Structure 1
Amino acid sequence: MKEQEESIAKQIEVELDLQSDNFKPLCANLLYFNTLLEQTIQQIKKLQMEKLRFAVEDIFRIVGQYDKYIIVYFYRSSAAFEKYGEEAHGHLIYQLKARNALTIAISDEDHERNDGTILLDTIGKDKEKIDQLKIEGFLASDIYKIQTFNHDEEIVKYKQKGIKEIPNTIKIEFESGSFDLPLMENKITSWKMQDGTKILPHEYQRYYTNQILMGDTPSDEVKELYLLDKNKQYKEEVLIQLYRYWFVSDSLDEAGKLQYKSLVKRQKERRIGMLKADLGITNSVWENFIKQHPEEYLITRRNLIPFANETLTNHITQFPIYWDEERFIHIYGRHYVDFFINFSTYKGTHFQYGYKDIRRLACLVLESLKQPIEQSLANGKGFNKYGDQGYYFNGNYYTLRISSAGRLMTFFPMDESK
């Protein structure tokens, strides 16, 4: 109690001293120099703006058009320094209209030099900083130095023509003949169950069908839920999974082989019917296509047959994204160059990737957009990315639409590069 009283007394004494005539000149000087400091800082910022060491156009010309990784260093007096620290790094973000405008601007050697907002896609542990750099960014006038890596290629990939490869792909050859596929698939599904990931109906269907292949018998309740149709018969997908495994392992007799052939034929005819309907192709035009383009027809048929409903996201989540037979045919039929039927009434844009890489591309985009997708689905809404908000990857902007149930409805490149 005594110590508290002494502390209060000292505080009162200090306040009285500050109000005395002895301290008035000092307070006035402090106020003057504080005002002078603020004016100096504002003058420095003004000079930075006028000098503009790196304009928006400069940054795009040096780094942005090549999609190179960048490290930017901020003036100590800048708002960016206060917000992000000395530096930030990552890949520059440009929406479709901005990239087109800057591409046109730098084609003129005497182009204007403007200040503007720079957005950055970065990684790190500070989630708030990552989100701020991506959404709010910083001004070009805040930058006094930039660095890139020498090994980054100076190739403009935007609107680049021809078939591409997904960057940083490492191909590893391995022998898959000894794999026990049903066992491997079920282990993966079991791990997902243990991790708390939501398991979709088609995954349960494959899981319990694999149990049959491994010699186990699912309960009647499980069969009713996942394996049987309304007539209490095994669903077509279940039968094809069973017979395909037995066929590959050379376990079918002649009657079994005929049954498998009949199942595949029925599935193929249904999928070709879906493809023709989606592309607006009549039966006569389709027959003409088979006669005039036999190789393309074989490619189309070969790619249609193996597909099975599939989950495209592999991370732990309650909102997995998947595509089914109908959406696979819609996406590949309209936008995969070797699926595309020239007689179609629908003229769509083409992926600049091979058949297998399109699926990988979809998975990469979904993984990159994991957070906003899950936020939207958690609120009972679908997710859309299109127009000027299209997702940019390796030189292309993509439209993406996902239903509120997590079904990938459409995915395609927005530009006309071929």
Structure 2
Amino acid sequence: MTRIPHETSGEPNPLRALDLDRLRRRTSMKWRTHPEDVLPLWVAEMDVLLAEPVVRAVTEAMELGDTGYPVGTAYAEALAAFAGKRWDWDGLAVERTAIVPDVMLGVVEMLKLVTGYGDAVVVNTPVYPPFHDFVGHMDRRVAEAPLGADGRIDPDVLEATFRRVTAGRRRAAYLLCSPHNPTGTVHTADELSAVAALAERYGVRVVADEIHAPLVVGDARFVPYLSVPGGGRGLSLMSASKAWNLAGLKAALAVAGPEAAGDLARMPEEAGHGASHVGVLAHTAALREGTGWLDALLTGLDTNRRLLADLLAERLPAIRYRPGDATYLAWLDCRALGLGDDPAQTFLRHGRVALNSGLPFGTGGAGHVRLNLAASPEVLEEAVRRMADAVERAGGVRV
């Protein structure tokens, strides 16, 4: 499939709509966790105004007092239509979906369906820290299958991990991050087909977190896990949350492959009670009518990732950065700076820039930081300037 160029959307870059003074009026986690002199480029919130169709949907709900409980399949229908147009995938069956409060709570419910107490859940580290936190909280064991040096799934490592965790006929699941957070890797159809074959061979159930699916910014193509040969036993979690900046409007969808429909049908009805009706309206509007805004955003993110690469090459060439093909997150290898296992502390203390420490991402995270690209170019320029100054103050190695 040839993807439609983002430049054709005709909408302005959403990342240039707000200045720092207006952003600092926000009361969300990104802007209120640190003092005002800190430049926050950490948690996954974007510095954007919402897409106009989303604002209109929420405003109309407020004017009508339409703030009750969610019902119906409009969200799933919108996602199915989006998947058909965006990913050439017509296999998202509305009858095999269920509303859940958000992706991670949906992940928990799906893992409950296919694993039991003490069973292993395989993850590809370094990976989104809540994968470790939520799995541990539900009394499952995290089993790491680290990514290769190229940031991609290593099939040999994955197979060895599957073999180990299923020894003695133990049940196990594989929590797949696709596209991958924090590396921005977009798994190919061949890679996902190989995953499905391994999962079938070892009896491992795949649960795919595909929340970043609409945020492919390079020439790569997102492939839904449920669409690949052998993926029909999988379960997926999807949402408009990340792509349209809707974290505060809770709503996500659990999606089952044809052979997993029975599993999804066993999910308790009350598992979806935490979803917001207004959130469902917002997510539905984003998927149906917000694609022009999304394309403008993707163009801005593509510009930002290239800008960041240039800025780092100029000011902090010792940092290794391989721009990912998806997400608005940059994974920076800072080990050559000589700042120890947690360089985020140095950037915060000496540069007043808040980044995510790589340590909570598991094996492969030491010496790394995660930087949020969803900001204006001017903010990125200021952030790198501050980071370079921080390294100099801390006596690190810039070159």
Q: TM-score, normalised by structure 2?
A: 0.25
Q: Bigger relative contact order, structure 1 or 2, given CA contacts below 8 A and separation 6+? A: 2
Query: Which one has the largest radius of gyration?
Result: 1
Whichever structure has more helix as a proportion of its residues is 1
